[in-house]
């Protein structure tokens, strides 16, 4: 049997139907929207079972349909969480989204940057070390 998959019309997740299971799930918090760069990242976050909001997959700024994103935001989003890796393009994406959605009262957050578990500092790039240092917490 071949399962035909396509993109969810709301969030771009892969789906067998027009809308994916997450978008159809009424028990998920529609006030929290998590932006990810790929369906793979979405699956990784889902496996952690930490987040019960909705997702929106943006693979690149060029491909992002901001009207589609705004339609989701209109549906009650109060916080947008950027679960994307730091890069020039992603920083640009964050600014662009904040600009596009400036008429809405939304809290923006992004995942903290830290030193990955089990990785020594000498194996990290200096920007990662710098950002970890700047966002240091009480020990
Ligand atoms: Zn969906």
Contact 38, 57 (CB under 8 A): yes
pLDDT of 1 reads 63
- pLDDT by residue (tens digit) across 55-88? 999 999 999 999 999 999 999 999 999 999 888 8
Q: 119 CA distance to ligand 1 centroid (A)?
A: 35
Structure tokens at 102: 């400036």
Whether 18 shows a pLDDT value over 70: the answer reads yes
Q: What is the pTM of this model?
A: 0.87
Give the separation between CA 83 and CA 29, rounded to whole angstroms.
Answer: 17
Residues less than 5 Å from ion ligand 1, measured at CB: 8, 10-11, 13, 20, 23
How far apart (Å, rounded) are the C-alpha atoms in residues 12 and 39?
Answer: 8
Kindly give the distance from the C-alpha atom of residue 28 to the centroid of ligand 1, in angstroms, as a whole number. 12
Q: Under DSSP, is residue 39 helix (H, G, I), strand (E, B) or coil? A: helix
């Amino acid at each position: 049997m071949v399962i035909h998959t396509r993109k969810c019309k709301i969030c771009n997740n892969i789906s067998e139907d027009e809308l994916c299971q997450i978008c159809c799930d009424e028990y998920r918090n529609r006030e929290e929207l998590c932006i990810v760069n790929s369906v793979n990242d979405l699956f990784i976050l889902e496996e952690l079972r930490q987040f019960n909001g909705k997702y929106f997959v943006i693979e690149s700024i060029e491909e992002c349909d901001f009207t589609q994103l705004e339609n989701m935001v209109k549906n009650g989003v109060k916080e947008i969480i950027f679960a994307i890796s730091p890069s020039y393009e992603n920083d640009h994406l964050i600014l662009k989204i904040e600009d596009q959605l400036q008429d809405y009262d939304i809290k923006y957050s992004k995942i903290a940057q830290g030193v990955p578990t089990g990785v020594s500092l000498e194996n990290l790039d200096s920007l990662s070390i710098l950002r970890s240092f700047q966002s240091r917490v009480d020990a």
